[in-house]
Amino acid sequence: MENNPFGLLAFLHWNHDWNKFHFPPHLLKKAVEQIRDLGVGLLRMDILWSDVYAGPHQTNFSRYDDLITLIRSHDIQILGLLHYNKSHSNAQGENWNHPPDSFEEFAGYVADTVAHFKGQVDHWEIWNEPNHPVYWSGPKDRLKTYSELLRLSYQAAKSANSNAFVLNGGLAQPVVEDTRNLYENGAKDFMDALSIHPFMDPLSPSPQKEFDETIRAVENIMSTYGDSKKKIWITEMGCPGVPIEKTAANWFQGHGLSEGQQAAWLEKQFGFLKNHPSIEKMFWAFYRDTGDIIKEGADDLGLVRFDFTPKPAFQAFKNLIARSHKSIC
């Protein structure tokens, strides 16, 4: 895994009413085998606080034990995503994206989870896009509140497993501005790599220039704070690939793309990696189309369609990983 820079975001824990039971148990083995076939090094997957919360200072991991055992039995490593409120996993719930009332209690959930899965999961990310209002409904205070949650969570994770590798929650746009805010709030010592989500419009006139400028600006901030040796992980990147029989809907970066354009963009953006040795991992989002859960073009971000048939991007990704392995060997 250390030499494999390729990751994948998959919602294999999605077995709730709000996601229409996207991955019921009978589909998981098929999904994990297909993901193994890709050859990715890490699978990014939530372990939601609301799924394991069993009462004050109590956790129950039965919902995840078999799933994580299945993934690891196929030689796939996991980046565990720890987040959201204990009261709701429902995306329509009132409190699901609100920061916890007790940061100490959240840190207890982090410690319990990291300890429970020690040896199976050693890579952890604390919250998802804490600078995005969809995923963080707490104070808009330039990440000051989140940085305190990260500090306590980092310390909890390390106390539970000294070998735990801890990331900040991947930063959405504005990536550069909020990287600076994270460092200004003292987060440098509470993340082992910097996680960002620099989504881009593949139809932009100069996407590589925009990507290069973003990464260089982030690197400059890290250097300013004496953190230039730390690596960058892009824990989400991607674009839609809309099946020909479906009308393309706009996504959060602009116009929807065809499946062929998606495959071409995947190869192009992973190609940007060679210009930036500071980037250690890049995760494609998503593994599987989400049907109509998101209700916009992002429903088609998958490498495979909703029915699990591979898109051209699936084979493009598989070929890219295979070529990378050959060059390493």
Domains contained in the chain, number:
1
Q: What pLDDT, on a 0 to 100 scale, did the predictor assign at position 94?
A: 64
Q: How many CB atoms lie within 10 A of CB 45?
A: 23
| Phi, psi of 34, deg, nearest 5 | -70, -40
CATH number of the structural domain spanning residue 278: 3.20.20.80
Q: Note if the pTM is more than 0.85.
A: yes
Q: How many CB atoms lie within 10 A of CB 64?
A: 23
In a domain? residue 221:
yes
Helix (H, G, I), strand (E, B) or coil at 44: strand
Tokens 């709730």 map to which residue?
Answer: 16
In a domain? residue 51:
yes
Q: Please list the pLDDT of the chain residue by residue as tens digits (329 residues).
A: 467 999 999 999 999 999 999 999 999 999 999 999 999 999 999 999 999 999 998 999 999 999 999 999 999 999 999 999 998 655 555 689 999 999 999 999 999 999 999 999 999 999 999 999 999 999 999 999 999 999 999 999 999 999 999 999 999 999 999 999 999 999 999 999 999 999 999 999 999 999 999 999 999 999 999 999 999 999 999 999 998 888 889 999 999 999 999 999 999 999 998 889 999 999 999 999 999 999 999 999 999 999 999 999 999 999 999 998 766 54
In a domain? residue 1:
no
Nearest CA-CA partner of 131 in 81, 190, 80, 179: 179
Residue type, 325: H
Strand-pair category, 232-237 with 279-285:
parallel
Do residues 118 and 160 touch, judged by C-beta distance below 8 A? yes
In a domain? residue 76:
yes
pLDDT in tens, 44-96: 999 999 999 999 989 999 999 999 999 999 999 999 999 999 986 555 556 89
Range(s) of the domain holding residue 305: 6-328
Q: What pLDDT, on a 0 to 100 scale, did the predictor assign at position 329?
A: 46
pLDDT in tens, 158-170: 999 999 999 999 9
